[in-house]
Amino acid sequence: MDAAGRAEPGAAASGDTGEAASDVLELVIAVHRLVRSLRRASSNRGYSSTQLVVLTHLKDVGSARIGEIAAHVPCSQPTATTVVKGLQGLGLVERVPDEGDRRATLVTITKLGLAAVRAVAESRASALARRLDSLDDDERERVRELIPLLTALADAPGEDVR
């Protein structure tokens, strides 16, 4: 362990891999529990989880074909088509011609769709802020210091198992 209490690089490989695996499992469980509880404590504004995954994906990538959306969610292409049609009916996404292949269309998020994603995110952030308020100043600072590390882990290339 270093001075900040983090495992030294390679420590799991040379140390107790059972303990490291247990720590990793506990982290996964804790993150899942936190995300699940924030979903329950906040408003989805009437959108399904699948609709929110599609909207968030489109916010991140700009536009995508139905097949790409289905692979990301993951779901079947017919399910992705149904979800997109529902979102289109609500004015949250639109279909535009794919300039690279005129036979295909791309799905893009609208301003209303961006506002919907933001509203759900703000609701979840509010729920998390209430929980963070229950921590003392040192605990809140420790959580704040984790943000760049958790972001790097989330953005790290890895194997997507679907």
Give the model confidence (pLDDT) of 118-156 as tens digits: 999 999 999 999 999 999 999 999 999 999 999 999 889
What pLDDT is attached to residue 92?
98
What is the rounded CA–CA span in Å between residue 146 and residue 152? 10
Question: Which domains are seen in the chain, by residue range?
Answer: 18-44+115-152 (no CATH), 49-110 (1.10.10.10)
The answer to whether 110 and 93 have CB atoms below 8 angstroms apart is yes
pLDDT-derived band at 159, boundaries 50, 70, 90: low
Other beta carbons within 10 Å of 45: 13
Q: pTM above the 0.85 mark?
A: no
Give the model confidence (pLDDT) of 42-80 as tens digits: 888 899 999 999 999 999 999 999 999 999 999 999 999
